[in-house]
Structure 1
Amino acid sequence: MTDAGPLGADEAAFIAAARSGDAARFALFTERHRRELQVHCYRMLANYEDAQDLTQETFLRAWNKRATFKGQAALRTWLSRIATNACLDFLEKRKDRTPVPSGLEDAGFEVPYLQPYPDRMLPEDPQESVVARETVELAFIVAVQHLPPRQRAVFVLRDVLGWPASKAADALELTVASVTSALQRARVTMREQLPGRRLDWRSPATHELSDDERGVVKSYMDAHERNDLDGLMSLLREDLRFAMLPEPGTLITTAKDAVDGWVSGGLFRRGKDDWRCAATTVNRMPAAALYLRAPGDPEYRLLNLAVLRIVDGKIAELTGFDVTGQPWLGLPPTL
């Protein structure tokens, strides 16, 4: 996401639309960038619905500031700057948008406002998609939330979008030295939050699921539909990290404790023993949509979404989401 040199055709046409005051023509140009702006806001906020709202706020601010666009920067750069500052304003007002202690020793923090991101809403631009998987995976999004808001903005602009320090400084009204210092601190935190992960977010990365991942998802769904607790347990790493959102206090860091909690909650007993599942992906990660049929109900109804991180053929992280009443995921409500 770099600035244009000479005034580009899009920028020139955008300036003409802005000067004419034609809101419809203006929207034609801004709408092209909706998906990448929405992902940008999601990286900042970890919440799909908030990202939708802040993207709309970005377009409103862009319209109100249209006279300030002179074409010195690419249109997408100008819009990203507005979106970043809209997110920072949001975070300044919403003090609940920070990780909270999990209450478990050495288990870290929970992010109860975290929501999954539907893959169908990811950018179609191939240049954006090559880094999409690792920079929208849940672990990455959660790690970013541990950064203070302005550090977060510096990190996303510099290390994800590849902006030079001078441009990030201008967008955030900081000095280049302040941006450089903030980025160094952000990188330390990201290394702490993502140990063992590659941290070169700007180099190409695959976003396709492996055959291994697809096989584990199929086995996970089969175990659910067969009420096979042993089969389910066999798919989990002993050091499984499990969370069920948006419920607070559900972060668990062993497979045994997770399974014990599922059993005590009635999993595979009457009323929670008639499951159908559908494979899907969110955040470029394998996932299973879980549908439960209650006694006497003719239909299976969407209940939870299990998002899996699979390492060496085992489930290392399982993040469950209550997805009732979330049509934006694009999942059928019943089977």
Structure 2
Amino acid sequence: MTDAKLPGDDEAAFIAAARSNDAAHFALVTERYRRELQVHCYRMLANYEDAQDMTQETFLRAWHKRESFKGHAALRTWLYRIATNACLDFLDRRDDRTPVPAELPGAGSQVHYLQPYPDRMLPEDPQESVVARETIELALIVAVQHLPPRQRAVFIMRDVLGWPASKAADALELTVASATSALQRARVTMREQLPGRRLDWRSPTTHELSDDERGVVKSYMNAHERNDLDGLTALLRDDLRFAMLPDPGTVTVTAKDAVDGWVSGGLFRRGHDDWRGVATTVNRMPAAALYLRTPDDPEYRLFAIAVLRIVDGEIAELTGFDAAGKPWLGLPPTL
């Protein structure tokens, strides 16, 4: 994503719209950047709804600042700068947008505000998406939240988007030395938060789910629909990392303990044993939307979204999101 690769037509059209105060033309020129800007805001904030709001704030700020754009930098760069600063301002105003210590022993910290990102809202053009799986998976999004806001911005610009140091520093009104120092500190934290993970997010990678992943998701949903607890246990790795947001903490549990915990919490018992599943993808990860029908209800209602990280045919990580009563991710609320 370098300025040299960008065409000049958008910049010229933007300047023309700015000079004519043509709001409709302005919206048309900038709309093509919405999805990638929204992904950028999501990486900064880890919350899909906040990312939508800050993307809209970006366009409002761009409209009010339109006369300051002279075409010296690419329009994309200018918009990313506005989006980043909108997110930084948002984080300055909110004291509930940082990880907090988990209530459960050994669970580390938790990101209460984490939300999944629907794949259907990712940029469509693979050349411009800059959303390899490693850069949008929940593990990276959570790890980034452990960085102070400006370190977070530098890390995303430099290591995820691949911006040169001078460009990132200029966007954040920092010296190159300050931006480089912030990046070095951010990388240390990221290595601590993602032990054993590949940290080269710009290497070639696939966007598509494997047949193995699709098969595990199907088996996971079938196990729910049949109330097959043994089958469900067999799908889980015995060092499963599990979180159910907004409940406290991510824990590592055995497969049996995980399923026993779900049963003791009421799942799969009478009244909570009539399930249907819909396979989907979020954050370039396989996921199952689980629908529950209670005895007094003729319809299956969206209950939870389970986002899965699958390794060698087993579920190594399961992040669940309470979706009851929420029209989430474009999924139907009932079946």
* Same fold at TM > 0.5: yes
Q: Across the two proteins, how many residue pairs are aligned to each other?
A: 334
Q: For residues 72 and 172 of structure 2, what CA distance do their matches in structure 1 show?
A: 17
Shift of 1:328: 4.6
| C-alpha contact 2:48 2:116 (8 A) present in aligned 1 | yes
Deviates more, 1:167-176 or 1:104-113: 104-113
2:253 aligned partner = 254
2-11 or 104-113, larger mean C-alpha shift: 2-11
Matches within 5 A, 1:231-246: 231-246=231-246
Shift of 1:19: 0.8
Shift of 1:257: 3.5
Which segments of 5 or more consecutive residues in structure 1 lack a partner in the other structure?
none
- Note the C-alpha offset of 1:296: 2.8
Contact 1:7 1:71 in 2 (8 A): no
Superposition deviation, residue 108 in structure 1: 1.6
What is the aligned partner in structure 2 of residue 104 from structure 1?
Answer: 104
Q: Give the structure 1 partner of residue 321 of structure 2.
A: 321
Q: Counterpart amino acid of 1:221?
A: M
In 2, Cα distance between equivalents of 1:142 and 1:7: 34
Deviation by residue 1:287-322 (Cα, 9 ceiling, x = unmatched): 111010110321111110000001111111101111
TM-score for the superposition, normalised by structure 2 = 0.96
State how far apart, in whole Å, the 2-side matches of 1:130 and 1:48 are: 17
Decide whether aligned partners of structure 1 residues 242 and 254 sit closer, same or farther in structure 2, where only a CA change above 3 A counts. same
Q: 1:116 maps to what in 2?
A: 116
Does residue 214 (structure 1) correspond to residue 244 (structure 2)? The answer is: no
What is the CA–CA distance in structure 2 between the aligned matches of 1:240 and 1:158, rounded to whole Å?
32
1:291 equivalent to 2:291? Answer yes
Q: How far did 1:130 drift? A: 5.6
Q: How does 1:1-335 map onto structure 2 within 5 Å?
A: 1-4=1-4, 8-129=8-129, 131-247=131-247, 249-255=248-254, 256-335=256-335
**CA contact 2:326–2:333 (8 Å) conserved in 1:** no
Give secondary structure in 1 for the equivalent of 2:309.
strand
Matched residue of 2:241: which SS?
Answer: strand
The separation in 2 between residues aligned to 1:147 and 1:299, in whole angstroms, is 43
With over 3 angstroms needed to count, the CA separation of the structure-2 counterparts of 1:333 and 1:164, relative to structure 1, is: same
Contact preservation (8 Å) 1:7, 1:72: no
Cα pair distance change 1:185/1:72, threshold 3 Å = same
Instruction: Give the conservation status (yes or no) of the 8 Å contact 1:169–1:176.
Output: yes
The aligned amino acid for 2:238 is: E
Q: Which amino acid aligns with 2:276?
A: R
Q: Secondary structure at 1:327's aligned position in 2?
A: coil
Q: Secondary structure at the match of 2:315?
A: strand
What's the offset of the Cα at 1:126? 1.0
1:53 alignment partner AA: D
The letter for the 1-side match of 2:29 is F
State the SS of the aligned residue for 1:288: strand
Q: 321-330 or 113-122, which moves further after superposition? A: 321-330
Partner amino acid, structure 1, of 2:251: I
Report if the CA contact (8 A) 2:302-2:325 is conserved.
no
Q: 1:5, CA displacement in angstroms?
A: 8.1
Counterpart AA for 1:189: T
Contact 1:131 1:205 (C-alpha < 8 Å) held by counterparts: no
Contact map agreement 2:11 2:71 (CA 8 A) in 1:
yes
TM-score, scaled to structure 1? 0.96
Distance in 1, Cα, partners of 2:2 & 2:79: 12
Deviation at 1:325, TM superposition (A): 3.9
Contact 1:130–1:204, Cα closer than 8 Å, also in 2: no
Percent identity at matched positions?
84
Per the TM alignment, residue 261 of structure 1 is displaced from its structure 2 partner at its CA by: 1.9
Whole-angstrom distance in 2 between the partners of 1:19 and 1:306: 49
Which whole-Å deviations, capped at 9, do the CAs of 1:121-159 have from their partners, x for residues lacking one? 000121233643211110010010011100000000111
